[in-house]
Every structure is written in C-alpha cells, then in structure tokens.
Amino acid sequence: MARLKYIIIYGLLLCLFVLPVQARLFGAQSFMLENGLQVVVVENHKAPIIKYMIWYKASAVDEKEGKGGTAHLLEHLMFRGTSNVSGEMFDDVLKQNGVESNAFTSLDFTVYYHSLDISKLELVMALEADRMKNLQISPKNFALERDIVYQERKQVVDNNPSAPFSESYRKVLWQEHPYARSVSGTEKEIKSLTLEDVQDFYNGLYSPDNAVLILSGDIDMQTAKSLAQKYYGEIEKRPLAAKAKFPNLKQNIRAKLEMQLPQINTPRLLKTYIAPSLSLNKDEIYNLSVLSKYLGEGETSELYKDLVLEQKKALAVSSSYDYLSRSYGRFQISALPANGVSVQELEQAIDESIKKAIKNLNIDKINNVKDKMLSGLVYLQDNPFDAADTVGIMSAAGMSVNDIEKQAEYIRAVQYQDVKESANKLFLENAALTGFLKPLGEN
C-alpha cells in the first residue's frame, strides 16, 4: 500500500513537474565483473588522489556461535601477508608509496581501504587482489594478532566505563539475533579462536561475488573498468559458505535496562526501536529518515525544542536512524536529563513529546524538514574520501547506484501522511529497549 502510493507520487512528480535540476549527488556509476565483483566508481578530479575501498559483505554476524571476533581477527591477519607478499613487504611497499591504509570491522561488513595518489592505484589493486585469494596465515602471526586484538578489546571496549552497559544493552535489545554479538568477541571467545576458524571464514566468504569495490577520486569509468578486469578479473569466485541467518524478532516487546556503574558521573538515556532497513521494508526508509530529522536531528528539531528549550527536562536530546544494514535497522533516541530530572521522568516526557510532534506534523512542517535535508546536497561533491565512505556503505548494504543518485528525489517524494504512518508503526508495533545508565548509588 505504502509502496503503491509511493510509486504514484513519484510518477506524478516525474510527469507533472520539471524537477529542480539536481544533476547528480555523487555521480556514482557501477559495473560488475564476470566473477560477481561489483565495482562502484565516483569521479572527482579535484586532485590526483583516490580512495580505494573494498567492502566484504561478511563480518561478525556471519561468525559461528561462540566464535565471536573471528571476522575482526581476520581483518588483522589480512595485513600479515600472502603466499606472494609478506606482511612486512605489504606494509613497506604501501608506506614507501605514500599510501594510507587501514581497515575496520562492523557487525555487517569488513572493510579495507586506502587513500593514495592516483599514480599508485595499480599497486594497491595488485596487493588487494592478491590478498583476496592468496592469504597465508602462519601460526606465529596468528598468535601475535590474537594477542593484539585482545589488547585492542581491552583498550577500546573494556577501558570505557560505560562498556558493560553497551554490551548488556545490545544483548537485551537483539535477543537471539546476531546483532547481539560483540564485534571484537568476548575475552573468552578471542582466546578460543583458532587459525582454522579464521582460515575457514576467509575461504568461505572473501569471494569476489561477496564484495563491493569502491573507487572514488581522480579516475574515469574506462580506466576503472580496465584495471578492475586486469587485477580482479582472474579471481574465481569461491563457493560461498553459509552466511548469517537473521531470525525474525518478537515485536511488541518493551524492555528496560537499568545499570549503575562505577566511574559514571551523570545519568543518561538511550532508547532504541528495531526498525525497517534497506534490506527489510525498504519502502519505509525515507519516511523514517525524514522522521528522524524532524524529531531529533539538530537543535531546531522538535524534541530539542520541546524538551531542552521549552520543558527544560533535558540538556541534550537527539535521534538517529540507521537503515544501511544487512538485517534490521535501528531508530535511536538518546538524551541527557537536566539536573533534578530523573531518567524515568525524562523517558515519559520523550514519549509524550514524540506523540505530540507526530500529531502536529503537517505539510508545512514536513516541507521545512525536507528542505533542510536537501539544502546541502552539493557538499557531497566535495570530498572524494567522504564520498567513498557513503557510497561504500550504501552499495554494500545493497543500494543500486541508481537509487543512491536518486536520494534527493526519494526524500522529496515523502509526504507527511507517510511519515505519520511509518512513525505510528515504529513506535507502537516495533520492539524497543530503553536503557538507563546511572552513577553508582543513584536511584
């Protein structure tokens, strides 16, 4: 139903109006090699530089039960050499050529990226293509990197006083869903990982047809095509191992998590609704993007005006909506209560404020919000490195370049009734968790 309406509106827009000319957002183009590797190109000729990213659609969610941290440890080991290039040589060659390289692992994706002078692109492509098929993990390097990821977890997760809250929060919210996992793996899991775990993960999932290559910068389509073919064309796709199975979560759950922790000096609140995403109910993602902007993005948003400026119950409140995921999306509201206001009282105020804002939504308000969202689109053409990140996650999550380029049109097409409908569904029907994090001994 929503979809039909959407198509009609979209069609009307196309037929009746000459759309304000938004020639391109990124100017992204795409092609696919025979082995299934998708390549997305964003041209930007400002300087002779490029950002190269390869997004593997394989990560923490695809790990075997009890083997948390496999994808992340593999990410580290990808820098330790192949049968052709030792880890040291890999690093030296990139450094000598001024290439800035790194990688990250999220729940859904494992990503390797380089920023470089365009003249060094073939070098990077040769190295990346090599480690897509020839990774070699020695027991010595495996043991070293397992120690390093253990230290990483201690530094990045466990040294953060709010970490126990975040970790419990994820588990309660996502129940049996693999999004409940920790990307780094727990201490116990990290220690139990074996070389075979990592090797199996690599063999089964680092196949060209399970990856997206992003080239954003001083390059043209023809060069991109010939180089992609030259370096990746020969890599055969491997039989894909079983990927994550995403269970259907029980909806209608309203859970609460309250924690008092040492080292926490001031209370805060985080509320998450499990939401539609690009992969699930993609018809609603633009409605909910507009909703998030309207409710809580920035200091002219409804929740900020009501709760911070008018009622003075919060000192900060904001919302965010993440729909670029392989399974469910998330709609989040976070807030810091004002002095003398309890987190419980603030939660109630937030709920009421949301109801009020949705009730008051009308055509003028929605137009104002959409205008704000669309006013700065030309900035997307500035930084080729930022463009790589954005186009990268959109593509990896499964958005076509056509849809990427049409973001503005899709947002423009959102009507206030659509937003109301999606909002009511989200807030009334979807599973949600409210978390209160408080200082020790504070009620």
Partner 1 sequence: MRSRRRSKSSAFFAKILQYLLVLLLVLGGSWYFYKQYISFNAEKILSESILQEKTFVARPVEVISPHYKIKAYLLEEKTAPIISFSFMFKGAGRVSDDKDQQGISGLTAAMLTEGTESLTSQDFKEKLENYAIGISFSAGLDDFTGAMVTTSEHQKQAYALLKDILIHPRFDKEDLNRTKLQLQKSFLLQKEHPQSILNLKFAEYLYKNHPYGRNPLGEWNAVSKLNRQDLLKYMQTHFAQNNLIIGVAGDITPENLENVLDDVFGSLPQSTAIDFVRNPDMDFNMPELNIDFAAGAQNISRFAAKGVSRSDKDFYPLYVANHIFGGSGLSSRLSKAAREDKGLTYSIYTYMSLADKSPLLQGEFSATKDKYAKVKEILRQEWNKFGQQGATEQEVEDAKNYLLASYNLRFASIANLSEILLYMQKEDLGLDFLQNRNNNIKNISTEQVNQVAKKYFKPQGYVSVNIGNFGQNKEK
Between residue 197 and residue 226, which ones bind partner 1 under the rule CB under 8 A? Answer: 218-219, 223, 226
Nearer to partner 1 (CB atom), residue 64 or residue 312? 312
46 binds partner 1, rule: CB under 8 A: yes
Among 194, 248, 251, 300, binds partner 1 (CB under 8 A): 300
Residues 310-329 binding partner 1 (CB under 8 A) are 312, 315-316
383 binds partner 1, rule: CB under 8 A: yes
Among 10, 31, 246, 385, binds partner 1 (CB under 8 A): 385
* CA distance linking residue 109 with residue 397, whole number of Å: 9
367 binds partner 1, rule: CB under 8 A: no
CB 132 within 8 Å of CB 205: no
What is the helix (H) or strand (E) element at residue 404, kind and residue range?
helix 401-405
Nearer to partner 1 (CB atom), residue 239 or residue 262? 262
Q: For Cα atoms 416, 422, 428, give the angle at the middle one, nearest 5 degrees.
A: 130
188 binds partner 1, rule: CB under 8 A: no
Which candidate, 201, 172, 214, places its Cα nearest to that of 59?
Answer: 201
Nearer to partner 1 (CB atom), residue 124 or residue 212? 124
Least CB distance to partner 1 at residue 421 (A): 25
Q: What is the DSSP letter of 177?
A: S
Among 16, 359, 360, 379, binds partner 1 (CB under 8 A): 379
Count of CB atoms situated within 10 Å of the CB of 328 = 23
Least CB distance to partner 1 at residue 278 (A): 25
Least CB distance to partner 1 at residue 155 (A): 5
143 binds partner 1, rule: CB under 8 A: yes
Among 229, 381, 415, 417, binds partner 1 (CB under 8 A): 381
Task: Show the binding pattern over residues 341-360: x = contacts partner 1 (CB under 8 A), - = does not.
Answer: --------------------
Task: Show the binding pattern over residues 222-251: x = contacts partner 1 (CB under 8 A), - = does not.
Answer: -x--xx------------------------
Residues 386-415 binding partner 1 (CB under 8 A) are 386
Q: Which stretch binds partner 1 (CB under 8 A): 148-156, 356-364, 393-401, 409-417?
A: 148-156
**Long-range Cβ contact pairs of 347-350 (< 8 A, separation 24 or more):** 347/269, 347/271, 347/434, 347/436, 349/307, 349/311, 349/313, 349/314, 350/269, 350/271, 350/303, 350/307, 350/314, 350/317
Least CB distance to partner 1 at residue 416 (A): 18
382 binds partner 1, rule: CB under 8 A: yes
CB 370 within 8 Å of CB 290: yes
146 binds partner 1, rule: CB under 8 A: yes
- The b-or-e profile of 78-101 (16+ CB within 10 A means b, else e) is bbbbbeebebeebbebbeeeebeb
Distance, first Cα to last Cα, the chain: 46
Task: Show the binding pattern over residues 258-297: x = contacts partner 1 (CB under 8 A), - = does not.
Answer: ----xxxxx-------------------------------
Among 14, 156, 363, 428, binds partner 1 (CB under 8 A): 156
DSSP collapsed to 3 states, 47-90: CCEEEEEEEECCCHHHCCCCCCCHHHHHHHHCCCEECCCEHHHH
The torsion of the CA quartet 363, 369, 374, 379, rounded to 10 degrees, works out to 170
Residues 64-123 binding partner 1 (CB under 8 A) are 79, 84-85, 89, 91-93, 95-100, 115-123
Alpha helices in 97-237 (DSSP H): 121-133, 139-153, 163-174, 187-192, 195-205, 221-232
Nearer to partner 1 (CB atom), residue 61 or residue 74? 74
CA pseudo-torsion sign 78, 83, 84, 89: positive
Coil/strand/helix, residue 20 = coil
